[in-house]
């Protein structure tokens, strides 16, 4: 695990299709196993984090408008279904790559737990259409942000850029900021500078999150010919770009303090968590080891969650 990145070996676990014994176990699963597969294909951990960014911006925006509990629950359900649906569709799109990569070959579609694969596509589209129905009953702008997220993630990222361009995460990552934008739009019915900056914070967070993972699984991404920056570029350049995006992310998190009506809870969190993110990124830049990329990846999600939690706490304290 401590080998230098320039001499990466393949991660543990053969990158092959699931063994026959596993396929047999899958096909013999009961209703609960099937239900778990359809939940898993939505990538629930990813959904929770994205929905959390939406909830946080809803809490902050609630200072400008009053909404009912039922309205909030409907909004949370809408953005949850949208994120889940987009993830399920992307799992269908990526099923060939997922079957090859050791990290993903046990996902529901490549492992055969959802078969035929088109069922994952129909499931994802069903969830997304349901989210649009709910969002339309909230307000048209919130509805549009969900559409933008779906188009950005599935069409721009998964179908177009992911396998074609090193810019896949930079451009496709815009979709990751849509839930935060939704949270503001659904409460206020408008989009101002502050929610745009909050959404941009998520967009700048995504390269750090994905590139650190791509460094750790560099050979697997290379095997399926996904042109992530750490795969197609020399590693010093990739690490330089990763560090640059983290610097920009931390600067933006502090800029948000001056744009919005924040107190010390948010500013203190942004400074402390930002310093930690910069330290970890600078450490791997100076000492490029594979295990350090994994540590940075594991830190990135708590960083975003804690930062958005501090936004809510700050709003509650005012």
Q: Assess if residue 82 is contained within a domain.
A: no
Query: CA distances (Å), 143 to each of 133, 189, 261, in order?
Result: 8, 11, 27
Maximum Cα interatomic distance, the chain, rounded to a whole number of Å: 59
Would 283 be classed as within a structural domain?
yes
284 assigned to some structural domain: yes
Q: Evaluate whether residue 215 is within a structural domain.
A: yes
Report the Cα–Cα distance between both ends of the chain, in Å, rounded.
46
How many residues are recorded in the chain? 318
Phi and psi at 233, nearest 5°, equal: -110, 160
Residue 98 domain flag: no
Distance of CA 168 to the CA centre of its chain: 13
Averaged pLDDT, 227-241: 95
SS (H, E, C) 28-44: CCCHHHHHHHHHHCCCH
Question: Which H helix or E strand runs over 48?
Answer: helix 44-61
Tell me which residue range forms the domain holding 251.
192-318
pLDDT in tens, 79-136: 999 999 999 999 999 999 999 999 999 999 999 999 999 999 999 999 999 999 999 9
> Confidence class of residue 65 from pLDDT cuts 50, 70 and 90?
confident
The answer to the question of residue 318 being in a domain is: yes
Pick from 246, 243, 171: which is nearest to 205 by CA? 246
Indicate the range of 26-35, 41-50, 191-200, 222-231 predicted with least confidence.
Answer: 26-35
Given a contact cutoff of 8 angstroms between Cβ atoms, the answer to whether 270 and 310 are in contact is yes
DSSP classification of residue 116:
S
* Confidence at residue 9, expressed as pLDDT on a 0 to 100 scale: 35
Q: How far apart are CA 84 and CA 303, in angstroms?
A: 22
Q: What was the pLDDT predicted at 29?
A: 61
Q: Tell me whether residue 48 is in a domain.
A: no
Q: Indicate whether 15 pLDDT > 90.
A: no
Q: What is the pLDDT of residues 127-176, one digit of tens each?
A: 999 999 999 999 999 999 999 999 999 999 999 999 999 999 999 999 99
pLDDT at 210 over 80: yes
Phi, psi at 187, each rounded to 5°: -85, -45
pLDDT in tens, 250-303: 999 999 999 998 999 999 999 999 999 999 999 999 999 999 999 999 999 999
Q: List CB contacts of 34: < 8 A, sequence separation 6 or more.
A: 113
Sign of the CA dihedral with 258 first, then 264, 266, and 269 last? positive
pLDDT at 176: 97
| 43 within some domain | no
The reported pLDDT for the residue numbered 8 is 34
Q: How many domains does the chain have?
A: 1
Rounded average pLDDT over 53-73:
95
């Amino acid at each position: 695990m401590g080998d230098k990145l320039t001499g990466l070996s393949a991660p543990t676990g053969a990158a092959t299709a699931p063994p026959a014994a596993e396929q047999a176990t899958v096909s013999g699963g009961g209703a609960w196993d099937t239900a778990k597969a359809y939940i898993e294909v939505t990538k629930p951990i990813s959904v929770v984090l994205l929905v959390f960014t939406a909830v946080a911006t809803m809490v902050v925006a609630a200072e400008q408008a009053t909404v009912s509990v039922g309205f909030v629950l409907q909004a949370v359900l809408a953005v949850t279904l949208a994120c889940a649906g987009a993830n399920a569709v992307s799992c269908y799109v990526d099923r060939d790559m997922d079957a090859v990569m050791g990290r993903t070959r046990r996902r529901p579609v490549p492992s055969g737990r959802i078969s035929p694969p088109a069922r994952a596509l129909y499931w994802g589209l069903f969830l997304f259409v349901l989210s649009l129905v709910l969002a339309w009953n909230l307000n048209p702008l919130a509805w549009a942000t969900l559409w933008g997220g779906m188009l950005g993630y599935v069409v721009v990222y998964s179908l177009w850029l992911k396998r074609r361009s090193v810019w896949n995460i930079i451009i496709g990552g815009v979709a990751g900021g849509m839930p935060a934008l939704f949270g503001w739009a659904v409460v206020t019915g408008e989009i101002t500078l502050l929610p745009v900056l909050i959404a941009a914070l998520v967009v700048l967070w995504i390269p750090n999150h994905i590139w650190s993972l791509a460094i750790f699984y560099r050979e697997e991404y290379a095997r399926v010919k996904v042109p992530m920056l750490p795969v197609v570029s020399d590693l010093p350049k990739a690490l330089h770009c990763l560090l640059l995006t983290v610097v920009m992310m931390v600067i933006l998190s502090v800029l948000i303090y001056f744009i919005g009506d924040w107190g010390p809870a948010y500013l203190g969190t942004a400074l402390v968590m930002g310093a930690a993110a910069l330290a970890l990124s600078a450490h791997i830049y100076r000492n490029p080891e594979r295990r350090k990329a994994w540590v940075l990846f594991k830190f990135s999600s708590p960083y975003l969650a804690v930062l958005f939690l501090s936004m809510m706490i700050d709003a509650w304290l005012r």
